[in-house]
């Protein structure tokens, strides 16, 4: 049986193609609201899982998968739309590929399961990525002036993306030091 938090995460995952389609078809206002609803759903499923002891193994995988699928997809789509710099899109996608690929590689080489708990810098990076998308979608969809906030968010997002990727690499090195295949 699927728990309520898992159902909410699954619904967020299913919002990914909708958000992409809305951006591609230039329905940016609707894309903004889908993205905001997805963000709210992330907070709600986390709250329910913690407050009502409804956390599951499936949820520990599907929740971050839904978050990353939505963020990466929206970043790529906004990059193709010309609303985000290509270099930032590449950096964001590369970091996520590095994290997933690195965890799989280390597991394969050492038979050690990597911890999937996000680091503080990774949480901060996710917040910055979300804020940037919200600002970009609000500016495009509603014609709002970002008052110079977008370039600042681009820079901070880039910095936190680099720091987050480096922190995961450092944690993997520390966690696997002296551990060989069994």
Compute the average pLDDT of residues 154-158: 98
Residue 110 located in a structural domain: yes
The pLDDT-based confidence of 104 (bands split at 50, 70, 90) is confident
Tally of structural domains, the chain: 1
Model confidence pLDDT, tens digit, residues 27-56: 999 999 999 999 999 999 999 999 999 999
Using pLDDT thresholds of 50, 70 and 90, give the confidence band for residue 115: low
pLDDT exceeds 50 at position 176: yes
pLDDT surpasses 90 at 127: yes
Q: How far is CA 113 from CA 55, 117, 182, in A?
A: 19, 12, 12
pLDDT digit string (tens) for 48-90? 999 999 999 899 889 989 999 999 999 999 999 999 999 999 9
> How far does the chain reach from its first CA to its final CA, in angstroms?
35
Q: Has residue 171 been placed in a domain?
A: yes
Give one word for 17, left, alpha or beta, with left for phi > 0 and alpha for psi -120 to 50. Answer: alpha
Q: To the nearest 10°, report the CA torsion of 60, 103, 177, 179.
A: 90
Beta carbons of 74 and 12 less than 8 angstroms apart: no
Which residue do the tokens 């963020």 mark? 71
Q: For 154-166, what is the mean pLDDT?
A: 97
Q: Is 8 exposed, middle or buried (0-12, 13-18, 19+ CB in 10 A)?
A: buried
Check which CATH number belongs to the domain holding 26 and give it.
1.20.120.1760
In 52-111, alpha helices (H): 57-80, 86-110
Give 182's pLDDT tier (boundaries 50, 70, 90). very low
Does 182 map to a domain? no
- Grouping H, G, I as helix, E, B as strand and the rest as coil, residue 147 is coil
The pLDDT value given to residue 156: 98
* pLDDT of 178: 61
Domain that holds residue 161: 4-176
Q: Is the residue at 115 inside a domain?
A: yes
Assess if residue 181 is contained within a domain.
no
96 assigned to some structural domain? yes
pLDDT at 180 over 60: no
Q: Does residue 116 register a pLDDT over 50?
A: yes
């Amino acid at each position: 049986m699927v728990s309520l938090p898992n159902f909410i995460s699954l619904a967020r995952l299913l919002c990914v193609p909708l958000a992409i389609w809305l951006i591609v078809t230039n329905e940016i206002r609707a894309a903004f609201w889908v993205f905001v609803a997805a963000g709210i759903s992330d907070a709600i499923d986390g709250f329910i899982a913690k407050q009502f002891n409804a956390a599951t193994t499936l949820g520990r995988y599907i929740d971050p998968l839904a978050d990353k699928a939505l963020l990466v997809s929206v970043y790529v789509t906004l990059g193709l739309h010309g609303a985000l710099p290509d270099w930032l899109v590449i950096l964001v996608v590369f970091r996520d590929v590095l994290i997933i690929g690195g965890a799989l590689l280390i597991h394969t080489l050492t038979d050690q399961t990597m911890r999937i708990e996000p680091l503080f810098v990774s949480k901060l990076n996710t917040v910055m990525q979300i804020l940037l998308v919200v600002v970009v979608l609000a500016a495009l969809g509603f014609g709002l002036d970002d008052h110079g906030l977008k370039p600042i968010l681009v820079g901070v997002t880039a910095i936190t993306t680099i720091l987050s990727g480096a922190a995961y690499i450092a944690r993997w090195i520390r966690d696997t030091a002296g551990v060989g295949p069994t």
